[in-house]
């Protein structure tokens, strides 16, 4: 029987590291500790992709497309072209919502639906799954409620992370908000200013920047808050199902 692979398309390296921590927390194995990294088809997995294996033995490829629609389209085309010989079981398409605050915006889901339509796929419910040439595709969008101090307004991965940390540890949100407002203030401030402030003050001593988003999943207080938000947004279920294969 030809082994299947699952694929997670995500926007960038921070998202990839967050996904890595999430998959590890769900019991998956990190296959990148030895070189070369070979998948179940004995094909080398080259960076920037990461390879994980579910408890049941199915491969999961983390594939960052760097926020580019062109690269996202090329990635889906790549997996579609080889689906007959190297089948994709499930594909998760992950993007930031990019809406402001709790204002619902369909942009991220429209982005996924647009690519599905361009590749002659079938668009189903906005929440998915969609399909392209037999590949089932679930949109997973970073978004969460919350308006407390220390939470950036733009709906991104950094907002979910900030909201989880502020809920897990009282006072951290106010501390970050105060520091970002102190003179001299940054000329521009966005969601990354917030997440990197939490990293610098509470995580940098034991974790390098590249490990920050994985490390959050090893902090039980924060991990619980992440799970709560991901369940509320609908992101948890397709990932839980993927890991169960």
Over the chain (245 residues), what is each successive 10-residue block's mean pLDDT?
A: 92 96 98 90 93 96 94 96 94 93 69 93 85 95 93 96 98 96 91 95 82 95 98 96 93
Task: Answer for the pair 215, 207: CB distance below 8 angstroms, yes or no.
Answer: yes
| Residue 225 CB coordination number (10 Å) | 22
Torsion, Cα of 40, 44, 47, 52 (10° steps): 20
Strand order across the beta sheet in which 135-142 lies: 29-30, 50-53, 59-64, 5-10, 88-96, 135-142, 130-132
Crossing angle, helix 107-118 and helix 69-81, to 10 degrees?
40
Q: Which pLDDT belongs to residue 241?
A: 96
Q: Which pLDDT belongs to residue 72?
A: 95
| Residue 24 CB coordination number (10 Å) | 15
Q: Which pLDDT belongs to residue 128?
A: 81
d(CA 2, CA 59): 12
> Checking DSSP bridges between strand 130-132 and strand 135-142, what pairing results, if any?
antiparallel
Q: Which pLDDT belongs to residue 228?
A: 98
Q: Which pLDDT belongs to residue 127?
A: 77
Options 3.40.50.10620, 3.40.50.720, 3.30.450.20, 1.20.1250.20; CATH of 5-143+234-244:
3.40.50.10620
Crossing angle, helix 172-181 and helix 157-168, to 10 degrees?
120
d(CA 49, CA 68): 16
SS (H, E, C) the chain: CCCCEEEEEECCHHHHHHHHHHHHHCCCEECCCCCCCECCCCCECCCCCEEEECCCCCEEEEEECCCCHHHHHHHHHHHHHCCCCCCEEEEEEEEECCCECCCCCCHHHHHHHHHHHHCCCECCCCCCCEEECCEEEEEEEECCCCCCCCCCCECCHHHHHHHHHHHHCCCHHHHHHHHHHCCCCCCCCCHHHHHHHHHHHHHCCCCCHHHHHHHHHHCHHHHHHHHHHHHHHCCHHHHHHHHHC
Q: Which pLDDT belongs to residue 104?
A: 55
Q: Where are the domains of the chain?
A: 5-143+234-244, 157-229
**What phi, psi does 30 have (nearest 5°)?**
-80, 115
d(CA 83, CA 4): 9
């Amino acid at each position: 029987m030809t082994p299947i692979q699952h694929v997670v398309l995500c926007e960038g390296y921070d998202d990839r590291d967050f996904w890595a921590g999430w998959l590890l927390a769900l019991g998956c194995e990190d296959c990148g500790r030895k070189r070369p990294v070979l998948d179940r088809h004995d094909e080398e997995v080259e960076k920037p992709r990461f390879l994980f294996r579910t408890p049941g033995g199915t491969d999961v490829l983390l594939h960052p497309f760097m926020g580019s629609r062109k690269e996202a389209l090329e990635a889906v085309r790549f997996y579609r072209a080889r689906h007959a010989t190297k089948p994709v079981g499930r594909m998760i398409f992950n993007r930031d919502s990019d809406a402001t605050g709790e204002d619902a915006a369909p942009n991220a889901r429209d982005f996924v639906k647009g690519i599905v339509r361009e590749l002659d796929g079938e668009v189903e419910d906005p929440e998915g799954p969609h399909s392209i040439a037999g590949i089932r595709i679930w949109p997973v969008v970073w978004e969460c409620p919350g308006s407390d101090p220390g939470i950036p307004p733009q709906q991104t991965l950094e907002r979910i992370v900030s909201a989880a940390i502020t809920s897990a540890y009282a006072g951290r949100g106010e501390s970050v908000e105060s520091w970002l407002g102190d003179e001299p203030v940054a000329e521009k401030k966005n969601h990354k200013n917030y997440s990197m402030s939490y990293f610098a003050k509470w995580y940098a001593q034991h974790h390098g920047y590249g490990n920050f988003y994985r490390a959050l999943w090893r902090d039980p207080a924060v991990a619980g808050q992440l799970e709560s938000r991901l369940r509320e947004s609908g992101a948890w279920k397709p990932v839980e199902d993927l890991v169960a294969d």
